[in-house]
Structure 1
């Protein structure tokens, strides 16, 4: 069903036949049924497409074509989506429980709410039941952007009107286009958001933004660039100070 209460879940995937079905089942197990699942495949050469077709239902929209990377694929999904609310589901992530979309929809019941976000729990790729740490989004405030803080991206939902007003993800960022978008839309302080103090998504560690020291260097370079492009006064030393606090997440998990 398409309408104001419909949530569009965007999944960008490329050669992930090993796990895409788990992400799809996670969405389909949601008790909230007013959703569509937009799967944007980048032209996979393995059996990803077969997996998607095997697990697709009437709420699945599949597009398979070459793209310019994950953020380009996400943009394609947003453009093709029909829902009033947009959320992301990576191909190797799953929802924490079957009530997630219900909780998100309830938070958006107020039409003035622009964004809803919660926490994510990282699990080991070879041990999905083993939680490594929890990323807590409760510390995020627009004034924390200059420190490099943002809500957990896969646990962040926007009304589609936010993309209509502010544009899509910048595809010339390799890792931090999500931070740049958050900086772009939150810096004004005019967005009305709600934080849900719970884990919404179980996220596999080792992805593009958690893939070792080279990725960490590139990530912080792009975060600094995003701040400068959005007139947020900061520096690399200030951005790096978030890591001691992140280390504490291991102790709190």
Structure 2
């Protein structure tokens, strides 16, 4: 089973070396590693060239943003499975891709969902983000599994489409909604912690971001003609606290 890992980046010189090293250190051998750079102006390209022997394909050219770059990566991918590894994140352990491959070989599914950890620059873990209690119906109230923990069969993108470019930070939410809820793909919780994510991504940076993603969650559900409660989506932070207290 070939697994394609896609990393998109732009001016990521401060973090991308660790990202590349985490892919290179995976014990699983059948990895296709693709990097899509948005024509970086720092020394990101120098770092990529340093590790060319560990990278299957890479391109550097202007793009229309994060999701356009992801779509370029999808166009280059030839693996059975697709995974996304952000340019400031790393795999949780050297066994992650091996565990993912075994899980998909043992389960006839379109996608697996797992866990990630979030950490500060000093390495201190601030959160374990788990998909254990997630289900597609929770997309209607604003909850998605952590995007980097999902591994998709590549055929899904040909069948149901790629990331929509009309979103600033919510195209991953829309794609997950389209795949899991609208088209009812088969999936299973893997209980694999796939990724160590540096705190401070596009969709986790303050109240203005919270308002924007709230708007884009509703847009994603409307695009897919799915019923939802705007009130529940706006109040999802409180439902999350209540769910945590119940556990």
Shorter-normalised TM-score: what interval? over 0.9
List structure 1 segments (4+ residues) > 3 angstroms apart after TM superposition: 245-252
What's the TM-score, normalizing by structure 1? 0.92
Shift of 1:76: 0.2
Question: Could you list the per-position Cα deviations for residues 154-205 of structure 1 after superposition, in whole angstroms to 9, with x for gaps in the alignment?
Answer: 1111000110100000011010100000100111463111212242111011
Shift of 1:134: 1.2
Question: Could you list the per-position Cα deviations for residues 132-168 of structure 1 after superposition, in whole angstroms to 9, with x for gaps in the alignment?
Answer: 1111112221211101111110111100011010000
1:161 to 155, 158, 161: 155
Partner in structure 2 of residue 140 of structure 1? 134
**Alpha-carbon distance in 2 for matches of 1:135, 1:242:** 15
Gaps (5+ residues) in structure 2? Answer: none
Alignment pair present for 1:75 and 2:67:
no
**Alpha-carbon distance in 2 for matches of 1:214, 1:199:** 29
Partner in structure 2 of residue 99 of structure 1? 95
Partner in structure 2 of residue 20 of structure 1? 16
Change (3 A) 1:248 1:197: farther
Partner in structure 2 of residue 114 of structure 1? 110
Change (3 A) 1:89 1:251: farther
Alignment pair present for 1:131 and 2:131:
no
On the 8 A contact 1:184/1:230 being kept in 2, the answer is: yes
**Alpha-carbon distance in 2 for matches of 1:203, 1:68:** 24
What is the Cα-based RMSD across aligned positions, in Å? Answer: 1.9
1:175 to 150, 154, 169: 169
Shift of 1:112: 3.1
Range with greater deviation from structure 2 (83-92 or 239-248): 239-248
2:232 to 233, 238, 249: 238
What's the TM-score, normalizing by structure 2? 0.94
Shift of 1:249: 9.2
Range with greater deviation from structure 2 (36-45 or 187-196): 187-196
Question: Could you list the per-position Cα deviations for residues 72-104 of structure 1 after superposition, in whole angstroms to 9, with x for gaps in the alignment?
Answer: 000000011111110000000011111110111
